[in-house]
Amino acid sequence: MIAALLLAAAALSTAVDAERAFAADAQKLGQWTAFRKWANANAIMFVPQAGSAHEFLKGKADPPVAVFWWPGRSYVSCDGGTTVNTGPWVRQWGKSVGYFTTVWGRRTDGSWQWLLDHGDALDEPRPEGGDIKARQASCDMPVKPLIRMHVANNGKSGGGRSDDGTLVWDWHVRSDGSRTVEVILWNGSDWESVVKDSVKAQ
């Protein structure tokens, strides 16, 4: 029994593993049931305005067919405690396609919870996935940054960063409903934008 638990923990050693387990739970348990299971207590979703994931998901019935997604790219903080995954999703066997971006945080017990979920539909699927390798931020940072850190402002903007400050994300929802989510990574000499999602007004 202990060996089985250790193997299960090892199987989810990365947020890419967690993302795949999350997607598998959506198929097995139901889409919104899986979202509730894996969400941090303060998780944020865009529906389309930013808001509490748990408030949105409370009592929400699972759709008959869950969306299916998989990680196509992954970015990890230097300390390994925060990861951003992005990749394609498909619904109803390809009748609609799109992309997602998920921010993950590792808990003190080593498990993962998602902190922010974002995405949109696309006309064509992203050609991403397979046996991907995460890109890790550089640990060579002389001064811990304070840039681009702000708290949610009436649900219009917000952001966060890894504990070591090497992976930063922020989001902004405009008055017309359009929004952006950007992730920047410290590469050892400069900040590099690695994810920039833009969604038109809805």
Number of structural domains in the chain: 1
In a domain, 146, yes or no: yes
Structure tokens of 33?
A: 């049931």
Q: Nearest Cα to 20, choosing from 110, 137, 100, 118?
A: 100
pLDDT value for 47: 86
In a domain, 42, yes or no: yes
Q: Using CA atoms in the order 109, 149, 42, 75, what is the torsion angle rounded to 10 degrees?
A: -50
- Residue 93 to residue 90: CA distance in whole angstroms: 7
User: Coil, helix or strand for 67?
Assistant: coil
In a domain, 106, yes or no: yes
pLDDT value for 138: 96
In a domain, 172, yes or no: yes
In a domain, 128, yes or no: yes
| Each residue's pLDDT tens digit, 100-151 | 999 999 999 999 999 999 999 999 988 998 889 999 999 997 765 545 444 4
pLDDT value for 8: 46
Q: Give the domain range for residue 88.
A: 2-197
User: Coil, helix or strand for 167?
Assistant: strand
Using an 8 Å Cβ cutoff, are 127 and 44 in contact?
no
In a domain, 202, yes or no: no
The total number of residues shown for the chain amounts to: 202
In a domain, 92, yes or no: yes
The low-confidence residues of the chain, meaning pLDDT below 50, are 1-10, 146, 148-153
**What are φ and ψ of residue 97, in 5° steps?**
-135, 165
Supply the angle between the helices 15-29 and 31-38 in degrees, to the nearest 10. 140
pLDDT value for 6: 39
Going by C-beta distance under 8 Å and a sequence separation of 6 or more, which residues neighbour residue 39? 53, 54, 57, 113, 114
> Which domain CATH number covers 81?
3.10.450.50
pLDDT value for 10: 45
Q: Which residues of 168-202 are buried (b: 16+ CB within 10 A; e: fewer)?
A: bbbbbbeeeeebebbbbbbeeeeeeebbebebeee
In a domain, 163, yes or no: yes
Using an 8 Å Cβ cutoff, are 134 and 157 in contact?
no
- Residue 188 to residue 57: CA distance in whole angstroms: 39
